[in-house]
Amino acid sequence: MSISKDLFSAILSMDSYNRGYNSGIALTGTTIGKASIAQTSSILLDDSGQSLDLPAGFYAIAYNTSAVSGFSAGEKTIAYRGTAGRDTLSGVVPAKAGTTILLDLKSHPS
C-alpha cells in the first residue's frame, strides 16, 4: 500500500520525537519503511566531546527518502524538534515550544 508524501513526511516528523535524548518511546532500528536514518544532530560535539544539541534543546534527524514512493532520487528529508526555553547561542526564544518543522531537501548536481 502506498501512502502520500505528506503523510509519510508527517510520520518522519513524529519519529523525531521518539529518537535521541528525551525520546517519547524507546525505538530501535534505523529505518521507517523504505526511509533510512542518514545522520542525527547527536554528532554535534564541542571540543571536549560533550553534546551540543541537548543543551540547546534541539534534535534533528536526516532521512534518506530517495527509495520512498513520491520522493525523488537522492532526496533527503530533515525533521527536527526543539524545546521551550532560550537558545543559549543566539538568545532567540522559539515561536512555539515543541513545534516540529519538516524540510524536504533535494540533492542537486554540482
- How far is the C-alpha of 54 from the C-alpha of 60, rounded, in Å? 11
pLDDT tens across the length of the chain (110 residues): 688 999 999 999 999 888 988 888 888 899 999 999 999 999 888 899 988 888 888 899 999 999 999 999 999 999 988 865 544 444 444 444 444 444 444 444 44
Strand order in the sheet with 100-105: 31-32, 35-40, 58-64, 76-82, 100-105
Q: What is the pLDDT of residue 40?
A: 93
3-state secondary structure of 13: helix
Decide: 75 and 106 in contact? Cβ < 8 Å: yes
What is the DSSP track for 55-86?
HHTEEEEEEE-TTSTTSPTT-EEEEEEE-SS-
- How far is the C-alpha of 13 from the C-alpha of 102, rounded, in Å? 6
Q: What is the pLDDT of residue 83?
A: 67
Query: Burial of 12 by CB count in 10 Å (0-12 exposed, 13-18 middle, 19+ buried)?
Result: buried
Q: Which residue's C-alpha cell is 515543541?
A: 98
- How far is the C-alpha of 56 from the C-alpha of 9, rounded, in Å? 24
pTM: 0.70
